[in-house]
Structure 1
Amino acid sequence: MRLATLRVDGATVAVRLDDDTAVEIDGVADVGALLQRPDWTDVAASASGRVHDAETLARAAWAPVIPQPGKIVCVGLNYRNHILEMGRELPEFPTLFAKYPEALIGPYDDLMLPSHAADAVDWEAELAVVVGRAVRNVDESEAAASIAGFSIMNDVTMRDYQYRTPEWFQGKTFEATAPFGPVLVTPDEFEPGGILSAEVDGEVVQKTPTDDLVFGPAALISYISQIFTLQPGDVIATGTPGGVGHARKPPRYLRPGSTLVTAVEGIGTLRNRVIASS
Protein backbone atom coordinates (compact mmCIF):
# COMPACT_ATOMS: atom_id res chain seq x y z
CA MET A 1 0.00 0.00 0.00
CA ARG A 2 1.15 3.54 -0.78
CA LEU A 3 0.00 6.46 1.36
CA ALA A 4 0.48 10.22 1.12
CA THR A 5 -0.65 13.50 2.64
CA LEU A 6 -2.24 16.07 0.35
CA ARG A 7 -3.00 19.75 0.81
CA VAL A 8 -6.64 20.13 -0.21
CA ASP A 9 -8.97 23.11 0.28
CA GLY A 10 -6.76 24.81 2.86
CA ALA A 11 -6.21 21.70 4.97
CA THR A 12 -4.47 18.35 4.67
CA VAL A 13 -5.87 14.87 4.18
CA ALA A 14 -4.37 11.38 4.14
CA VAL A 15 -4.81 9.48 0.89
CA ARG A 16 -4.25 5.99 -0.45
CA LEU A 17 -2.65 5.86 -3.87
CA ASP A 18 -4.12 3.37 -6.33
CA ASP A 19 -2.19 3.41 -9.60
CA ASP A 20 -2.87 6.95 -10.88
CA THR A 21 -5.52 7.96 -8.34
CA ALA A 22 -5.40 9.30 -4.79
CA VAL A 23 -8.34 8.26 -2.60
CA GLU A 24 -9.04 10.42 0.45
CA ILE A 25 -9.21 8.65 3.81
CA ASP A 26 -12.17 10.51 5.27
CA GLY A 27 -11.65 12.14 8.65
CA VAL A 28 -7.88 11.58 8.71
CA ALA A 29 -5.78 14.73 8.41
CA ASP A 30 -2.47 13.13 7.42
CA VAL A 31 -0.53 9.89 7.40
CA GLY A 32 0.85 10.57 10.88
CA ALA A 33 -2.68 10.82 12.26
CA LEU A 34 -3.62 7.63 10.41
CA LEU A 35 -0.81 5.71 12.09
CA GLN A 36 -2.18 6.63 15.52
CA ARG A 37 -5.04 4.23 14.87
CA PRO A 38 -4.35 0.57 15.75
CA ASP A 39 -6.44 -0.46 12.74
CA TRP A 40 -4.75 1.96 10.35
CA THR A 41 -4.09 -0.62 7.65
CA ASP A 42 -7.76 -1.58 7.52
CA VAL A 43 -8.86 2.06 7.58
CA ALA A 44 -6.58 2.92 4.69
CA ALA A 45 -7.44 -0.16 2.67
CA SER A 46 -11.19 0.44 2.96
CA ALA A 47 -11.08 4.19 2.28
CA SER A 48 -13.55 5.36 -0.34
CA GLY A 49 -13.47 9.15 -0.10
CA ARG A 50 -13.02 11.78 -2.78
CA VAL A 51 -10.78 10.64 -5.64
CA HIS A 52 -8.05 12.78 -7.20
CA ASP A 53 -6.08 12.20 -10.38
CA ALA A 54 -2.60 11.86 -8.91
CA GLU A 55 -0.94 12.63 -12.23
CA THR A 56 -2.55 16.06 -12.54
CA LEU A 57 -2.28 17.20 -8.91
CA ALA A 58 -0.27 20.38 -8.52
CA ARG A 59 3.13 19.80 -7.00
CA ALA A 60 2.23 22.18 -4.19
CA ALA A 61 -0.59 19.80 -3.22
CA TRP A 62 1.88 17.24 -1.89
CA ALA A 63 2.73 17.79 1.78
CA PRO A 64 5.46 16.04 3.78
CA VAL A 65 4.13 12.50 4.03
CA ILE A 66 4.05 12.91 7.83
CA PRO A 67 3.90 16.66 8.46
CA GLN A 68 4.37 16.63 12.24
CA PRO A 69 6.24 13.55 13.46
CA GLY A 70 6.59 13.34 17.21
CA LYS A 71 10.25 12.46 16.72
CA ILE A 72 12.65 12.57 13.79
CA VAL A 73 15.76 10.56 14.64
CA CYS A 74 18.60 10.85 12.14
CA VAL A 75 21.52 8.47 11.78
CA GLY A 76 24.98 9.67 10.80
CA LEU A 77 27.79 7.64 9.25
CA ASN A 78 25.69 4.61 8.36
CA TYR A 79 26.72 3.83 4.77
CA ARG A 80 30.10 2.18 4.40
CA ASN A 81 31.18 4.26 1.40
CA HIS A 82 30.24 7.55 3.11
CA ILE A 83 32.13 6.61 6.28
CA LEU A 84 35.24 5.90 4.23
CA GLU A 85 34.99 9.13 2.20
CA MET A 86 34.78 11.10 5.45
CA GLY A 87 37.93 9.37 6.72
CA ARG A 88 36.31 7.53 9.62
CA GLU A 89 36.20 3.96 10.88
CA LEU A 90 33.04 1.85 10.85
CA PRO A 91 31.11 2.62 14.06
CA GLU A 92 30.34 0.15 16.83
CA PHE A 93 27.07 1.93 17.62
CA PRO A 94 24.76 4.20 15.61
CA THR A 95 25.47 7.93 15.59
CA LEU A 96 22.17 9.64 16.41
CA PHE A 97 20.91 13.20 16.27
CA ALA A 98 17.50 14.86 16.05
CA LYS A 99 15.66 16.94 13.51
CA TYR A 100 12.52 18.97 14.25
CA PRO A 101 9.30 18.99 12.18
CA GLU A 102 9.85 22.64 11.21
CA ALA A 103 12.66 21.43 8.96
CA LEU A 104 10.31 19.36 6.82
CA ILE A 105 8.98 20.43 3.42
CA GLY A 106 6.88 18.61 0.86
CA PRO A 107 8.41 16.44 -1.85
CA TYR A 108 8.18 19.22 -4.47
CA ASP A 109 8.34 22.34 -2.27
CA ASP A 110 11.05 24.97 -2.56
CA LEU A 111 14.08 24.40 -0.35
CA MET A 112 14.82 27.63 1.50
CA LEU A 113 18.40 28.83 1.98
CA PRO A 114 18.64 31.63 4.58
CA SER A 115 21.23 34.24 3.71
CA HIS A 116 23.09 33.78 7.01
CA ALA A 117 23.66 30.06 6.40
CA ALA A 118 23.92 29.64 2.63
CA ASP A 119 27.65 29.23 2.10
CA ALA A 120 28.09 25.48 2.72
CA VAL A 121 24.72 23.78 2.16
CA ASP A 122 25.08 20.09 1.39
CA TRP A 123 22.79 17.29 0.18
CA GLU A 124 22.27 13.98 1.99
CA ALA A 125 19.86 11.57 0.28
CA GLU A 126 18.35 9.13 2.77
CA LEU A 127 15.92 6.23 3.09
CA ALA A 128 13.41 7.06 5.83
CA VAL A 129 11.74 4.45 8.03
CA VAL A 130 8.40 5.18 9.70
CA VAL A 131 7.32 3.44 12.90
CA GLY A 132 3.82 1.97 12.97
CA ARG A 133 3.34 1.08 16.62
CA ALA A 134 4.81 1.92 20.02
CA VAL A 135 8.02 0.02 20.75
CA ARG A 136 10.31 0.00 23.77
CA ASN A 137 13.29 -2.32 24.39
CA VAL A 138 12.45 -4.57 21.45
CA ASP A 139 14.66 -7.06 19.64
CA GLU A 140 15.25 -6.85 15.91
CA SER A 141 12.41 -9.24 15.09
CA GLU A 142 9.88 -7.12 16.97
CA ALA A 143 11.46 -3.97 15.54
CA ALA A 144 11.00 -5.21 11.98
CA ALA A 145 7.34 -5.98 12.69
CA SER A 146 6.83 -2.41 13.95
CA ILE A 147 7.76 -0.75 10.64
CA ALA A 148 4.79 1.01 9.05
CA GLY A 149 6.67 1.75 5.87
CA PHE A 150 9.45 3.52 4.04
CA SER A 151 9.83 6.95 2.48
CA ILE A 152 12.54 9.36 1.29
CA MET A 153 14.19 12.32 3.01
CA ASN A 154 17.05 14.59 2.10
CA ASP A 155 18.88 15.65 5.26
CA VAL A 156 20.08 18.95 3.79
CA THR A 157 22.89 20.15 6.03
CA MET A 158 24.45 23.54 6.75
CA ARG A 159 28.04 22.33 7.08
CA ASP A 160 29.38 25.57 8.51
CA TYR A 161 26.86 25.43 11.37
CA GLN A 162 27.33 21.68 11.76
CA TYR A 163 31.04 22.01 12.45
CA ARG A 164 30.92 25.05 14.70
CA THR A 165 30.91 22.60 17.63
CA PRO A 166 31.50 18.83 18.06
CA GLU A 167 27.69 18.37 18.12
CA TRP A 168 26.09 18.26 14.67
CA PHE A 169 22.56 19.25 15.64
CA GLN A 170 22.62 22.96 14.78
CA GLY A 171 23.54 22.28 11.15
CA LYS A 172 20.91 19.60 10.70
CA THR A 173 17.52 21.10 11.39
CA PHE A 174 17.29 24.47 9.65
CA GLU A 175 13.70 25.38 8.93
CA ALA A 176 12.18 24.43 5.54
CA THR A 177 15.21 22.50 4.28
CA ALA A 178 14.35 18.77 4.47
CA PRO A 179 12.10 17.36 1.73
CA PHE A 180 10.17 14.28 2.89
CA GLY A 181 7.90 11.99 0.86
CA PRO A 182 6.35 11.72 -1.60
CA VAL A 183 4.73 8.58 -0.20
CA LEU A 184 4.94 5.98 2.52
CA VAL A 185 5.26 2.47 1.06
CA THR A 186 4.32 -0.40 3.37
CA PRO A 187 6.82 -3.25 3.89
CA ASP A 188 4.80 -5.72 1.83
CA GLU A 189 5.58 -3.57 -1.22
CA PHE A 190 9.12 -2.43 -0.44
CA GLU A 191 12.31 -4.01 0.82
CA PRO A 192 15.63 -2.13 1.08
CA GLY A 193 18.04 -2.95 -1.71
CA GLY A 194 17.03 -0.64 -4.56
CA ILE A 195 19.15 2.33 -5.56
CA LEU A 196 19.14 5.55 -3.51
CA SER A 197 20.30 8.50 -5.58
CA ALA A 198 20.66 12.26 -5.60
CA GLU A 199 21.11 14.63 -8.53
CA VAL A 200 22.12 18.28 -8.48
CA ASP A 201 21.25 20.19 -11.63
CA GLY A 202 20.98 16.95 -13.58
CA GLU A 203 24.28 15.45 -12.40
CA VAL A 204 24.16 12.26 -10.34
CA VAL A 205 26.08 12.95 -7.13
CA GLN A 206 25.00 9.96 -4.98
CA LYS A 207 24.05 6.45 -6.06
CA THR A 208 24.11 3.48 -3.68
CA PRO A 209 21.92 0.44 -2.87
CA THR A 210 19.78 1.05 0.20
CA ASP A 211 20.94 -2.19 1.82
CA ASP A 212 24.57 -0.97 2.14
CA LEU A 213 23.77 0.22 5.67
CA VAL A 214 25.99 -0.60 8.62
CA PHE A 215 22.86 -0.63 10.80
CA GLY A 216 19.67 -1.67 9.00
CA PRO A 217 16.14 -0.43 9.81
CA ALA A 218 15.31 -3.16 12.34
CA ALA A 219 18.67 -2.78 14.09
CA LEU A 220 18.14 0.99 14.34
CA ILE A 221 14.65 0.68 15.78
CA SER A 222 15.82 -1.92 18.28
CA TYR A 223 18.75 0.25 19.38
CA ILE A 224 16.78 3.49 19.62
CA SER A 225 14.01 1.75 21.56
CA GLN A 226 16.54 1.05 24.29
CA ILE A 227 16.80 4.82 24.80
CA PHE A 228 13.15 5.90 24.54
CA THR A 229 9.80 4.67 23.33
CA LEU A 230 9.25 5.07 19.62
CA GLN A 231 5.67 6.00 18.80
CA PRO A 232 3.51 5.54 15.70
CA GLY A 233 4.50 8.12 13.10
CA ASP A 234 8.03 8.62 14.41
CA VAL A 235 10.59 8.82 11.61
CA ILE A 236 14.13 7.48 11.37
CA ALA A 237 16.36 8.88 8.61
CA THR A 238 18.80 6.04 8.11
CA GLY A 239 21.87 7.92 6.88
CA THR A 240 23.41 9.01 3.60
CA PRO A 241 25.82 7.28 1.22
CA GLY A 242 29.01 8.64 -0.30
CA GLY A 243 28.94 11.53 -2.72
CA VAL A 244 28.11 14.45 -0.43
CA GLY A 245 29.39 17.82 -1.56
CA HIS A 246 31.46 18.53 1.54
CA ALA A 247 33.73 15.53 0.85
CA ARG A 248 34.53 16.61 -2.72
CA LYS A 249 37.77 18.31 -3.67
CA PRO A 250 37.05 21.11 -4.03
CA PRO A 251 33.83 21.02 -1.99
CA ARG A 252 30.57 21.57 -3.86
CA TYR A 253 27.42 23.01 -2.31
CA LEU A 254 23.82 23.86 -3.16
CA ARG A 255 23.17 27.39 -4.40
CA PRO A 256 20.04 29.40 -5.14
CA GLY A 257 18.77 28.25 -8.51
CA SER A 258 19.93 24.65 -8.05
CA THR A 259 17.53 21.74 -8.44
CA LEU A 260 17.93 18.82 -6.04
CA VAL A 261 16.41 15.47 -7.02
CA THR A 262 16.34 12.60 -4.53
CA ALA A 263 15.04 9.15 -5.44
CA VAL A 264 14.69 5.61 -4.10
CA GLU A 265 13.77 2.79 -6.43
CA GLY A 266 10.39 1.42 -5.43
CA ILE A 267 9.31 4.56 -3.56
CA GLY A 268 9.53 7.61 -5.78
CA THR A 269 11.27 10.93 -6.28
CA LEU A 270 11.64 14.25 -4.50
CA ARG A 271 12.30 17.30 -6.69
CA ASN A 272 13.12 20.58 -4.96
CA ARG A 273 14.19 23.95 -6.30
CA VAL A 274 16.69 25.79 -4.11
CA ILE A 275 15.83 29.42 -3.45
CA ALA A 276 17.23 32.16 -1.26
CA SER A 277 15.27 33.41 1.72
CA SER A 278 15.78 36.32 4.08
Structure 2
Amino acid sequence: MKYLRIGEPGLETPVVSHEGVHYDLSGLYSDIDGEFLGRGGVSSVAELPVIDIAGQRIAPPIAKPGAVVCIGMNYAAHCAESGLEPPAEPVVFYKHPNTIVGPGDDVQIPRGSTRTDWEVELGVVFAKPASYLESEKEALDCIAGLVVANDLSEREFQIERSGGQFSKGKACPTFTPLGPHLVTLDEIADVQDLRMWSKVNGEIRQNSTTADMIFSVAHIIFHMSQFMAFDAGDLLLTGTPEGVALSGRFPYLGAGDLVEVGIDGLGSTANPTVQA
Protein backbone atom coordinates (compact mmCIF):
# COMPACT_ATOMS: atom_id res chain seq x y z
CA MET A 1 0.00 0.00 0.00
CA LYS A 2 0.93 3.62 -0.46
CA TYR A 3 -0.58 6.16 1.92
CA LEU A 4 -0.82 9.86 1.18
CA ARG A 5 -2.71 12.94 2.29
CA ILE A 6 -4.22 15.61 0.05
CA GLY A 7 -5.56 19.09 0.68
CA GLU A 8 -4.52 22.36 2.25
CA PRO A 9 -2.76 22.51 5.64
CA GLY A 10 -5.14 21.57 8.42
CA LEU A 11 -7.72 20.22 5.97
CA GLU A 12 -5.93 17.11 4.68
CA THR A 13 -7.81 14.01 3.52
CA PRO A 14 -6.21 10.58 4.15
CA VAL A 15 -5.86 8.46 1.00
CA VAL A 16 -4.55 5.01 0.15
CA SER A 17 -3.15 4.19 -3.30
CA HIS A 18 -3.24 0.62 -4.59
CA GLU A 19 -2.28 -0.47 -8.10
CA GLY A 20 -2.45 3.14 -9.29
CA VAL A 21 -5.97 3.85 -7.99
CA HIS A 22 -6.60 6.26 -5.10
CA TYR A 23 -9.16 5.55 -2.38
CA ASP A 24 -10.65 7.93 0.18
CA LEU A 25 -10.05 6.88 3.80
CA SER A 26 -11.78 9.84 5.45
CA GLY A 27 -15.03 7.97 6.03
CA LEU A 28 -13.24 5.49 8.28
CA TYR A 29 -10.09 7.21 9.54
CA SER A 30 -9.37 10.77 10.59
CA ASP A 31 -5.75 10.82 9.43
CA ILE A 32 -2.56 8.91 8.63
CA ASP A 33 -1.21 9.11 12.15
CA GLY A 34 0.12 6.97 14.97
CA GLU A 35 -3.32 5.67 15.88
CA PHE A 36 -4.06 4.64 12.30
CA LEU A 37 -0.64 3.03 11.78
CA GLY A 38 -0.74 1.34 15.17
CA ARG A 39 -3.94 -0.44 14.12
CA GLY A 40 -2.20 -1.81 11.05
CA GLY A 41 -3.50 0.59 8.41
CA VAL A 42 -5.78 -0.96 5.79
CA SER A 43 -5.54 -4.48 4.43
CA SER A 44 -8.12 -4.15 1.62
CA VAL A 45 -9.48 -1.39 -0.59
CA ALA A 46 -12.48 -3.45 -1.71
CA GLU A 47 -15.19 -1.24 -0.20
CA LEU A 48 -13.41 2.12 -0.17
CA PRO A 49 -14.63 4.96 -2.42
CA VAL A 50 -12.35 6.03 -5.27
CA ILE A 51 -11.09 9.61 -5.07
CA ASP A 52 -9.67 11.89 -7.78
CA ILE A 53 -6.58 13.67 -6.47
CA ALA A 54 -5.84 15.66 -9.65
CA GLY A 55 -5.10 19.30 -8.92
CA GLN A 56 -4.95 18.74 -5.17
CA ARG A 57 -2.05 19.76 -2.96
CA ILE A 58 -0.07 16.70 -1.90
CA ALA A 59 0.49 17.03 1.83
CA PRO A 60 3.08 15.25 3.98
CA PRO A 61 2.03 11.59 3.97
CA ILE A 62 1.87 11.35 7.77
CA ALA A 63 0.20 13.67 10.26
CA LYS A 64 2.56 15.43 12.67
CA PRO A 65 4.59 12.73 14.45
CA GLY A 66 5.45 12.93 18.11
CA ALA A 67 9.18 12.91 17.30
CA VAL A 68 11.52 13.31 14.34
CA VAL A 69 14.70 11.42 15.25
CA CYS A 70 17.65 11.80 12.88
CA ILE A 71 20.89 9.92 12.34
CA GLY A 72 23.94 11.90 11.27
CA MET A 73 27.08 10.84 9.43
CA ASN A 74 25.70 7.48 8.30
CA TYR A 75 27.35 7.28 4.84
CA ALA A 76 31.13 6.88 4.65
CA ALA A 77 31.56 9.15 1.61
CA HIS A 78 29.51 11.89 3.28
CA CYS A 79 31.75 11.65 6.35
CA ALA A 80 34.76 12.06 4.08
CA GLU A 81 33.38 15.12 2.29
CA SER A 82 32.54 16.64 5.69
CA GLY A 83 36.10 16.05 6.92
CA LEU A 84 35.02 13.64 9.66
CA GLU A 85 35.85 10.06 10.58
CA PRO A 86 32.98 7.55 10.36
CA PRO A 87 31.33 7.23 13.79
CA ALA A 88 31.74 4.12 15.93
CA GLU A 89 27.99 4.06 16.63
CA PRO A 90 25.00 6.03 15.36
CA VAL A 91 25.02 9.80 15.91
CA VAL A 92 21.57 11.14 16.81
CA PHE A 93 19.87 14.55 16.77
CA TYR A 94 16.29 15.79 16.69
CA LYS A 95 14.17 17.98 14.44
CA HIS A 96 10.95 19.66 15.54
CA PRO A 97 7.90 17.95 13.96
CA ASN A 98 6.65 21.35 12.80
CA THR A 99 9.49 21.44 10.24
CA ILE A 100 7.57 18.92 8.10
CA VAL A 101 6.03 20.22 4.87
CA GLY A 102 4.64 18.59 1.75
CA PRO A 103 6.61 17.34 -1.25
CA GLY A 104 5.80 20.43 -3.33
CA ASP A 105 5.54 23.11 -0.66
CA ASP A 106 7.83 26.14 -0.42
CA VAL A 107 11.05 25.78 1.57
CA GLN A 108 12.08 28.90 3.44
CA ILE A 109 15.69 30.07 3.42
CA PRO A 110 16.16 31.18 7.07
CA ARG A 111 16.77 34.80 7.91
CA GLY A 112 20.51 35.47 7.97
CA SER A 113 21.33 32.20 6.19
CA THR A 114 24.06 31.90 3.59
CA ARG A 115 24.63 28.13 3.91
CA THR A 116 21.31 26.33 3.50
CA ASP A 117 21.98 22.77 2.28
CA TRP A 118 19.98 19.79 1.00
CA GLU A 119 20.11 16.15 2.15
CA VAL A 120 18.15 13.30 0.57
CA GLU A 121 17.27 10.75 3.25
CA LEU A 122 15.34 7.53 3.70
CA GLY A 123 12.65 8.08 6.31
CA VAL A 124 11.22 5.28 8.46
CA VAL A 125 7.80 5.58 10.11
CA PHE A 126 6.92 3.39 13.09
CA ALA A 127 3.87 1.14 13.28
CA LYS A 128 4.17 0.42 16.99
CA PRO A 129 6.20 1.30 20.06
CA ALA A 130 9.84 0.24 19.98
CA SER A 131 11.88 0.05 23.18
CA TYR A 132 14.65 -2.32 24.27
CA LEU A 133 14.26 -4.46 21.16
CA GLU A 134 15.92 -7.87 21.22
CA SER A 135 17.06 -8.14 17.60
CA GLU A 136 17.35 -6.40 14.26
CA LYS A 137 14.54 -8.60 12.90
CA GLU A 138 12.30 -7.33 15.67
CA ALA A 139 13.33 -3.81 14.63
CA LEU A 140 12.12 -4.34 11.05
CA ASP A 141 8.79 -5.59 12.39
CA CYS A 142 8.22 -2.15 13.94
CA ILE A 143 8.17 -0.34 10.57
CA ALA A 144 4.89 0.94 9.14
CA GLY A 145 6.53 2.18 5.94
CA LEU A 146 9.23 4.22 4.24
CA VAL A 147 9.18 7.77 2.94
CA VAL A 148 11.41 10.22 1.05
CA ALA A 149 12.71 13.12 3.14
CA ASN A 150 14.87 16.17 2.55
CA ASP A 151 16.76 16.88 5.77
CA LEU A 152 17.57 20.51 5.02
CA SER A 153 20.37 22.05 7.07
CA GLU A 154 21.78 25.50 7.75
CA ARG A 155 25.46 24.71 8.08
CA GLU A 156 26.59 27.85 9.92
CA PHE A 157 23.83 27.36 12.49
CA GLN A 158 24.63 23.64 12.68
CA ILE A 159 28.42 23.85 12.96
CA GLU A 160 29.81 27.27 13.92
CA ARG A 161 26.83 28.31 16.08
CA SER A 162 25.70 24.89 17.29
CA GLY A 163 26.94 24.89 20.87
CA GLY A 164 27.94 21.28 20.26
CA GLN A 165 24.78 19.80 18.74
CA PHE A 166 23.16 19.73 15.30
CA SER A 167 19.55 20.67 15.98
CA LYS A 168 19.96 24.47 15.81
CA GLY A 169 20.83 24.15 12.11
CA LYS A 170 18.23 21.48 11.41
CA ALA A 171 14.97 22.77 12.92
CA CYS A 172 14.28 25.91 10.89
CA PRO A 173 10.70 26.19 9.56
CA THR A 174 9.97 24.03 6.46
CA PHE A 175 13.26 22.11 6.82
CA THR A 176 11.74 18.62 6.41
CA PRO A 177 9.90 18.19 3.09
CA LEU A 178 8.33 14.73 3.15
CA GLY A 179 6.52 12.53 0.65
CA PRO A 180 4.73 12.04 -1.55
CA HIS A 181 3.84 8.59 -0.16
CA LEU A 182 4.34 6.41 2.88
CA VAL A 183 5.13 3.06 1.24
CA THR A 184 4.62 -0.20 3.14
CA LEU A 185 7.49 -2.69 3.24
CA ASP A 186 5.70 -5.30 1.13
CA GLU A 187 6.26 -2.98 -1.86
CA ILE A 188 10.02 -2.73 -1.20
CA ALA A 189 12.33 -5.53 -2.37
CA ASP A 190 15.33 -4.54 -0.23
CA VAL A 191 15.52 -1.59 2.16
CA GLN A 192 19.32 -1.65 1.87
CA ASP A 193 19.38 -1.41 -1.93
CA LEU A 194 17.42 1.72 -2.84
CA ARG A 195 18.83 4.32 -5.23
CA MET A 196 18.61 7.85 -3.85
CA TRP A 197 19.34 11.17 -5.51
CA SER A 198 19.03 14.94 -5.23
CA LYS A 199 18.97 17.78 -7.77
CA VAL A 200 19.16 21.56 -7.60
CA ASN A 201 17.63 23.43 -10.53
CA GLY A 202 17.64 20.18 -12.50
CA GLU A 203 21.34 19.42 -11.93
CA ILE A 204 22.23 16.21 -10.12
CA ARG A 205 23.89 16.60 -6.72
CA GLN A 206 23.60 13.28 -4.88
CA ASN A 207 23.47 9.86 -6.56
CA SER A 208 23.92 6.91 -4.25
CA THR A 209 22.12 3.95 -2.67
CA THR A 210 21.14 2.87 0.82
CA ALA A 211 23.68 0.06 0.41
CA ASP A 212 26.32 2.64 1.36
CA MET A 213 24.94 3.16 4.86
CA ILE A 214 27.43 2.63 7.68
CA PHE A 215 24.63 1.43 9.96
CA SER A 216 21.67 -0.40 8.38
CA VAL A 217 18.06 0.62 8.98
CA ALA A 218 17.49 -2.45 11.16
CA HIS A 219 20.62 -1.76 13.22
CA ILE A 220 19.73 1.90 13.76
CA ILE A 221 16.27 1.03 15.08
CA PHE A 222 17.61 -1.78 17.28
CA HIS A 223 20.46 0.38 18.59
CA MET A 224 18.38 3.48 19.28
CA SER A 225 15.71 1.43 21.07
CA GLN A 226 18.29 0.76 23.77
CA PHE A 227 18.40 4.51 24.52
CA MET A 228 14.88 5.77 23.78
CA ALA A 229 11.34 4.60 23.11
CA PHE A 230 9.75 5.19 19.71
CA ASP A 231 5.96 5.54 19.41
CA ALA A 232 3.70 4.58 16.52
CA GLY A 233 3.77 7.40 13.97
CA ASP A 234 7.26 8.64 14.89
CA LEU A 235 9.66 9.44 12.05
CA LEU A 236 13.29 8.31 11.87
CA LEU A 237 15.65 9.84 9.27
CA THR A 238 18.59 7.58 8.49
CA GLY A 239 21.32 9.83 7.08
CA THR A 240 22.41 11.26 3.74
CA PRO A 241 25.03 10.25 1.15
CA GLU A 242 27.75 12.44 -0.37
CA GLY A 243 26.98 15.34 -2.70
CA VAL A 244 25.84 18.15 -0.41
CA ALA A 245 26.93 21.79 -0.58
CA LEU A 246 29.02 21.33 2.59
CA SER A 247 31.46 19.39 0.41
CA GLY A 248 32.50 22.65 -1.28
CA ARG A 249 31.66 21.25 -4.72
CA PHE A 250 28.34 23.05 -5.10
CA PRO A 251 26.80 26.40 -4.11
CA TYR A 252 24.37 26.56 -1.23
CA LEU A 253 20.68 27.14 -1.78
CA GLY A 254 19.17 30.58 -2.22
CA ALA A 255 15.71 31.96 -2.79
CA GLY A 256 14.44 31.03 -6.27
CA ASP A 257 16.07 27.60 -6.45
CA LEU A 258 14.23 24.32 -6.94
CA VAL A 259 15.51 21.46 -4.78
CA GLU A 260 14.43 17.90 -5.57
CA VAL A 261 15.16 14.65 -3.76
CA GLY A 262 13.99 11.12 -4.55
CA ILE A 263 14.33 7.43 -3.78
CA ASP A 264 13.43 4.69 -6.24
CA GLY A 265 10.11 3.10 -5.37
CA LEU A 266 9.17 5.84 -2.93
CA GLY A 267 8.76 8.90 -5.17
CA SER A 268 10.29 12.34 -4.96
CA THR A 269 9.86 15.86 -3.64
CA ALA A 270 10.29 19.13 -5.58
CA ASN A 271 10.35 22.21 -3.37
CA PRO A 272 10.81 25.82 -4.51
CA THR A 273 12.88 27.95 -2.16
CA VAL A 274 11.75 31.35 -0.87
CA GLN A 275 13.21 33.84 1.56
CA ALA A 276 11.80 33.58 5.09
Common topology (TM > 0.5): yes
The one-letter code matched in structure 1 to 2:265 is G
The one-letter code matched in structure 2 to 1:104 is I
- 1:145 offset after TM fit, Å? 1.0
What secondary structure, in the 3-state scheme, does the structure 2 residue paired with 1:223 have? helix
What secondary structure, in the 3-state scheme, does the structure 2 residue paired with 1:52 have? coil
- 1:29 offset after TM fit, Å? 2.8
Structure 2 gaps of 5+ residues are: none
Hey, what's the Cα distance between the residues in 2 that align with 1:215 and 1:257?
Answer: 35
Task: Tell me if structure 2 keeps the 8 A contact 1:13–1:28.
Answer: no
> Is residue 146 from structure 1 mapped to residue 180 from structure 2 by the alignment?
no
Q: Aligned residues, how many?
A: 270
Structure 1 equivalent of residue 17 of structure 2:
17
What secondary structure, in the 3-state scheme, does the structure 2 residue paired with 1:182 have? coil
Structure 1 gaps of 5+ residues are: none
Task: Tell me if structure 1 keeps the 8 A contact 2:38–2:128.
Answer: no
Structure 2 equivalent of residue 31 of structure 1:
32
Task: Tell me if structure 2 keeps the 8 A contact 1:182–1:268.
Answer: yes
Q: Which moved more, 1:235-244 or 1:64-73?
A: 64-73
Task: Tell me if structure 1 keeps the 8 A contact 2:117–2:154.
Answer: yes
CA deviation profile, 1:187-245 (whole Å, cap 9, x unmatched): 11113212100000011000101221111111111111111211111111000000010
Hey, what's the Cα distance between the residues in 2 that align with 1:71 and 1:7?
Answer: 23
What secondary structure, in the 3-state scheme, does the structure 2 residue paired with 1:167 have? coil
% same residue = 31
What is the TM-score normalised by the length of structure 1?
Answer: 0.91
- 1:175 offset after TM fit, Å? 1.1
Structure 2 equivalent of residue 51 of structure 1:
50
What secondary structure, in the 3-state scheme, does the structure 2 residue paired with 1:75 have? strand
Out of 180, 183, 187, the position equivalent to 2:181 is 183
Out of 106, 111, 123, the position equivalent to 1:110 is 106
Task: Tell me if structure 1 keeps the 8 A contact 2:38–2:127.
Answer: no
Hey, what's the Cα distance between the residues in 2 that align with 1:89 and 1:124?
Answer: 19
What secondary structure, in the 3-state scheme, does the structure 1 residue paired with 2:179 have? strand
- 1:33 offset after TM fit, Å? 4.3
Out of 53, 67, 72, the position equivalent to 2:68 is 72
> Is residue 276 from structure 1 mapped to residue 272 from structure 2 by the alignment?
no
Task: Tell me if structure 1 keeps the 8 A contact 2:33–2:233.
Answer: yes
Hey, what's the Cα distance between the residues in 1 that align with 2:111 and 2:203?
Answer: 25
- 1:49 offset after TM fit, Å? 4.0
Task: Tell me if structure 2 keeps the 8 A contact 1:5–1:14.
Answer: yes
Distance change (3 Å), C-alpha of 1:83 and 1:9 = closer
The one-letter code matched in structure 2 to 1:275 is V
CA deviation profile, 1:22-81 (whole Å, cap 9, x unmatched): 211123232224534424243xx3474442234x233xx211111311111001000111
Task: Tell me if structure 2 keeps the 8 A contact 1:24–1:48.
Answer: no
Structure 1 equivalent of residue 265 of structure 2:
266
Hey, what's the Cα distance between the residues in 1 that align with 2:221 and 2:38?
Answer: 20
Hey, what's the Cα distance between the residues in 2 that align with 1:33 and 1:198?
Answer: 29
- 1:115 offset after TM fit, Å? 2.5
What secondary structure, in the 3-state scheme, does the structure 2 residue paired with 1:29 have? coil
